Amino acid sequence: MAPIFSSFLALTLIIPLSNAQGPPSPGFSLSSRVSTVAFNTGFRNLWGPQHQKLDQGSLTIWLDKSSGSGFKSLRPYQSGYFGAAMKLQPGYTAGVITSFYLSNNEEHPGDHDEIDIEFLGTTPDKPYTLQTNVYIRGSGDRNMIGREMKFHLWFDPTKDYHNYAILWNPSEIIFFVDDVPIRRYPRKSDATFPTRPMWVYGSIWDASSWATENGRYKADYNHQPFVGQYTNFKVSGCTANSPASCRPPSASPSGSSSLSRQQALAMNWVQNNYLVYDYCHDPKRDHTQIPEC
């Protein structure tokens, strides 16, 4: 996402329960229902081509003092399931954002919609923060209102690949980590829900002004290059040109658009144990701007 629209809110920490080891099973593997897409079939380089390498289906992008890198889907979508397996860099990564997201910023600059999965870089003594966010055009006055929910994870995302995904359908947005739903954003009104077609993006870039503890720690290029790794790309949904009869994948085994009871229990476990910031519960926010709360 573009730095100009990023939140400058500090984290409100909630300490995870000491006995929390891993979430209960969601009982349904949505990712297994969606075929893997080869990178070159579904995406292209967007910027920083010299900082992007494709090797046997796995994409590596990196940031150094000269540039970061990003990629973009070949087509825009109006709904669907969008995911990738990602592996993050260990050590000092403060100020660095590694992301996978939906946006139409190029089509509607300053007045766009966006659905974000962003890893906020960190210092070696602290865990990564996974930030989810939703931007909506709203009134079209270029006043971009962030709707951040931030999580720590029940595993180390630098040790191995894990699957991260966004399900966007006409009634809700659901964020998944390894098929476990971590956040559900329902459509409560047209003004608080993105409806215009979006492209799928991934990127690594320097967001030192806000990314790590509200900008307290900056990117330190003594640790360059900063690397993000992606594989197992999943894209299944309705393109901008699909007929009205097109339906995105179902969130639950019942075929309904929402979560099953078992999925909801798994999501509640994650939020009870690993949620570290919720914009709806931030007393510093102007709640007239976030009526869905």
In what helix (H) or strand (E) does residue 78 lie, and over which residues does it extend? strand 77-88
118 carries an active-site annotation: yes
Would you list the DSSP string of 100-153? EEEE-TTTSTTS--EEEEEEEP--TTS--EEEEEEE--TTSSS------EEE--
102: tokens are 């939906």
Distances (CA, A) of 288 to 35, 127, 145, 280: 41, 33, 11, 11
Please tell me which residue in 106, 114, 148, 292 is annotated as part of the active site. Answer: 114
107 carries an active-site annotation: no
260: tokens are 């099953």
Please tell me which residue in 106, 107, 118, 213 is annotated as part of the active site. Answer: 118
What secondary structure letter does DSSP report for 241?
T
- Return d(Cα 231, Cα 176) in angstroms, integer: 16
- Return d(Cα 258, Cα 273) in angstroms, integer: 22
What region does 179 belong to: left with phi over 0, alpha with psi -120 to 50, or beta? left
- Return d(Cα 110, Cα 205) in angstroms, integer: 19
Report the side by side order of strands in the sheet with 226-239. 52-55, 58-63, 226-239, 77-88, 162-169, 172-177, 180-186
Residue 14 CB neighbour total at 10 angstroms: 15
> Considering only CA atoms, which of 248, 278, 232 is closest in space to residue 77?
248
- Partners of 101 in the beta sheet? 116, 201
* Catalytic site positions: 114, 118
